[in-house]
């Protein structure tokens, strides 16, 4: 009998991250363990306490989740094996008996505050914002009486989890906000290509020089690889030292992506491969993938003939 899968997730119970993990329908018997921070959830996988970890990576309104990117760039390598897109809707929660007029301070995760800023300034103009480690941690602290605020911006489900009341629902400024979550494992071969895949990389150029970023982009563009995201983050070593997080369409087994990776390995001091995995919400286009791959294979065969026979047409 196979062991049940153990999952770490950015918690506590009631985070959007937990909802993202549950949306993947973990098999019966799976163990889901919350961790207070993203690095702790990822370290659980690195150290073997969990097989997989679900963490937020990017939000459609507030952008990248720095805690996730910075952790993935260092430490023992992990790879993304799947991504999940989850619509994020926020509710303002409070202890029973609290009314909107009583709310002076609101606690939540910084990404959540950024997504509800307009609503907050219009509905609770005088209210101060207090940072919490996650939306659910804000709700939990209210329930346990340890919060330095009167209300929490959380997922609605956290009201049930922590026995709180919903003071206002659907308070996000953008009703279509979506967060992208990544499921990470210790390095394993990627899932098979589907024709709708994404590859994630971290590139680092040690010596800044004119055109350094252009060199990275060229490796992708000359091979027709579509970059979908680029985020720069300081390495923390010195002012002006940055690494680039890049998402591109395609799979490491696709010839264009594979060749681009080799090119990047030549021009960058370091390249960390963070996985190839099926893109969420995109229909596979195996025909297009096969066409691009065929052009590369044909060019490879042509070069082999040039080398072997001295001529090829
Ligand atoms: O605090 C949570 O509930 C999370 O899962 C984290 C997080 C994030 O890091 O962006 C996830 C989705 C929302 O955009 C707000 C917060």
Three-state secondary-structure class, residue 250:
coil
Name the domain boundary from 188, 217, 246: 188
CATH number at residue 146: 3.40.190.10
Element holding 275 (H helix, E strand):
strand 270-278
Q: How many CB atoms lie within 10 A of CB 291?
A: 10
CA-to-CA distance for 190 and 195, rounded, in angstroms? Answer: 14
Sheet strands (E) in 109-241: 128-131, 151-154, 165-169, 178-185, 197-204, 227-234
Ligand 1 centroid to residue 236 C-alpha, Å: 24
> For position 298, what pLDDT does the model report?
87
CB distance 9 to ligand 1 below 6 Å: no
Q: Are residues 66 and 27 in the same domain?
A: yes
* Of 78, 60, 61, residue with least CA distance to 69: 78
| Ligand 1 atom, smallest distance to 17 CA | 5
47 contact partners, CB below 8 Å, separation of at least 6: none
Q: Are residues 45 and 131 in the same domain?
A: no
CA-to-CA distance for 192 and 256, rounded, in angstroms? Answer: 16
ipTM of the complex: 0.96
CA dihedral (98, 99, 101, 103) positive or negative: positive
* Of 35, 178, 162, 40, residue with least CA distance to 107: 162
Name the domain boundary from 128, 156, 188: 188
Q: Are residues 194 and 178 in the same domain?
A: no
Q: Are residues 128 and 274 in the same domain?
A: no
Element holding 290 (H helix, E strand):
helix 286-309
Ligand 1 centroid to residue 240 C-alpha, Å: 29
Q: Are residues 195 and 165 in the same domain?
A: no
CA-to-CA distance for 81 and 251, rounded, in angstroms? Answer: 12
Q: Are residues 129 and 200 in the same domain?
A: no
CA-to-CA distance for 253 and 198, rounded, in angstroms? Answer: 11
Ligand 1 centroid to residue 155 C-alpha, Å: 9
Looking up tokens 């009703």 gives 175
* Of 92, 162, 158, 169, residue with least CA distance to 124: 92
Q: Are residues 32 and 181 in the same domain?
A: yes
Query: Are the C-beta atoms of 130 and 153 separated by less than 8 Å?
Result: no
> For position 312, what pLDDT does the model report?
78
Query: Are the C-beta atoms of 33 and 42 separated by less than 8 Å?
Result: no
> For position 1, what pLDDT does the model report?
53
Q: For a substitution probing ligand 1, which of 55, 179, 181 has the most ligand atoms within 8 Å of its CB?
A: 179
Three-state secondary-structure class, residue 19:
helix
> For position 8, what pLDDT does the model report?
98
Domain residues for 276? 190-313
Q: Are residues 106 and 54 in the same domain?
A: no
pLDDT tens for each residue of the chain, 313 residues long: 567 899 999 999 999 999 999 999 999 999 999 999 999 999 999 999 999 999 999 999 999 999 999 999 999 999 999 999 999 999 999 999 999 999 999 999 999 999 999 999 999 999 999 999 999 999 999 999 999 999 999 999 999 999 999 999 999 999 999 999 999 999 999 999 999 999 999 999 877 778 889 999 999 999 999 999 999 999 988 888 899 999 999 999 999 999 999 999 999 999 999 999 999 988 777 777 777 778 888 888 888 889 999 887 7
Tokens of 84: 């999940």
Q: Are residues 181 and 226 in the same domain?
A: no
CA-to-CA distance for 215 and 35, rounded, in angstroms? Answer: 39
Output the residue whose Cα is nearest ligand 1's atom 10.
111
Output the residue whose Cα is nearest ligand 1's atom 13.
112
CB distance 111 to ligand 1 below 6 Å: yes
Query: Are the C-beta atoms of 255 and 292 separated by less than 8 Å?
Result: yes
CB distance 56 to ligand 1 below 6 Å: yes
Tokens of 151: 């209300």
CA-to-CA distance for 243 and 23, rounded, in angstroms? Answer: 32
Q: Are residues 110 and 83 in the same domain?
A: no
Total structural domains in the chain? 3
């Amino acid at each position: 009998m196979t062991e049940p899968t153990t999952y770490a997730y950015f918690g506590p119970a009631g985070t959007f991250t937990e909802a993202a993990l549950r949306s993947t329908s973990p098999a019966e018997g799976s163990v889901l363990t919350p961790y207070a921070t993203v690095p702790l959830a990822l370290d659980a996988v690195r150290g073997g306490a969990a097989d997989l970890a679900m963490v937020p990576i990017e939000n459609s309104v507030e952008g990248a989740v720095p805690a996730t990117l910075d952790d993935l760039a260092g430490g023992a390598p992990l790879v993304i094996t799947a991504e999940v897109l989850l619509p994020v809707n926020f509710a303002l929660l409070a202890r029973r008996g609290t009314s909107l007029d009583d709310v002076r301070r609101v606690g939540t995760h910084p990404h959540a505050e950024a997504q509800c800023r307009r609503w907050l300034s219009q509905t609770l103009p005088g209210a101060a914002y207090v940072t919490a480690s996650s939306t659910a941690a804000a709700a939990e602290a209210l329930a346990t009486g340890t919060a330095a605020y009167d209300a929490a911006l959380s997922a609605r489900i956290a009201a049930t989890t922590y026995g709180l009341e919903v003071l206002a629902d659907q308070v996000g400024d953008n009703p279509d906000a979506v967060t992208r979550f990544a499921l990470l494992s210790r390095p394993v071969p990627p899932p098979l290509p589907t024709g709708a895949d994404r590859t994630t990389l971290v590139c680092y150029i040690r010596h800044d020089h004119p055109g350094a970023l252009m060199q990275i982009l060229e490796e992708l563009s000359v091979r027709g690889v579509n970059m979908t995201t680029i985020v720069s983050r300081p390495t923390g070593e010195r002012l002006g030292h940055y690494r680039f997080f890049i998402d591109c369409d395609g799979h490491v087994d696709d010839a264009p992506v594979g060749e681009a990776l080799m090119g990047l390995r030549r021009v960058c001091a370091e390249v960390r491969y963070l996985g190839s995995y099926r893109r969420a919400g995109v229909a596979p286009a195996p025909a297009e993938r096969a066409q691009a791959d065929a052009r590369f294979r044909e060019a490879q065969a042509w070069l082999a003939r040039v080398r072997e026979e001295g001529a090829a047409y």
